[in-house]
Amino acid sequence: MSIVDRSEREFEFTDGDFERVRKLIYDHAGIALAPIKRDMVYSRLVRRLRALGLGSFAHYLQVLERGDEAEWETFVNSLTTNLTYFFREAHHFSILANHMKASRSRPYRIWCSAASTGEEPYSLAMTACEAFNTLTPPVSIIASDIDTNVLNTARQGVYGNDRVDKLSPQRLQQFFLKGTGGKTGFVKVRSELQALITYQRINLLDARLGVDGMFDALFCRNVMIYFDKPTQRTILTKFKPLLKADGLLFAGHSESFLHAADLFHSLGKTVYQHTEQPHLPRNTG
């Protein structure tokens, strides 16, 4: 049963409107919206109707279909989900640290392909600093997302105390500065960590991703769950030539790439490697 009483909605949102939204977001961003997401779609897009002074979803969808680039960006931003936190799926970071130390690559290159509001790339940067025992490790991180709003938040590196309350006191002291802009209740990531990261908007469905390999590690976690299997395979096919032969691909805990076993094979713990590379590199966990 829907949690929204559709009879009391401000705007009519028909089955046809929802199907058009599903097709537009799939064609543009590869996101496969399940039928259960209908009420979520309404609640997020209705704000755009109000902001633009439009009278119907049909009119709004016409704006998109006419190719309004600015509204396309807002449309995608509205429908992407950005749940994240520092050191999510913590076991990945210890595996990464060991791989960094064992690798001879300098700089060691990482692509974080779903940066969201920055917690993941900053966790990568902290891991690098700890692995090499310096605030200036030989590591370079590219952090990307399709959502420009979250990328702006990530670049700023400012978080409320509630967002960092699960970090150890040692990490808070080493990697964050208390207060920002005279406000209490916030911390700011140290500039040394920010210097390790380059941010850019990337749509994983674009024919050319806009990043240059080769990477030692590629984080694409909790993203593939929004794509169907054919789209996942398309993306994995693009990833493969961007990873070094001994590079590591990190996926989310609920994601599996068994359907693309000819491209990547599992090393366990949702870590993958080239099919040409049958063994986990020395000292990676």
Is there a contact between 148 and 253 (Cβ–Cβ < 8 Å)? no
230: nearest Cα among 259, 256, 202: 259
Report the residue count for the chain.
285
Q: Which residues form the catalytic set?
A: 44, 145
Identify the residue whose tokens are 């977001």: 25
For residues 67 and 153, what is the distance between their CA atoms, to the nearest angstrom? 27
Identify the residue whose tokens are 């870590």: 271
246: nearest Cα among 270, 280, 269, 220: 280
Is there a contact between 227 and 31 (Cβ–Cβ < 8 Å)? yes
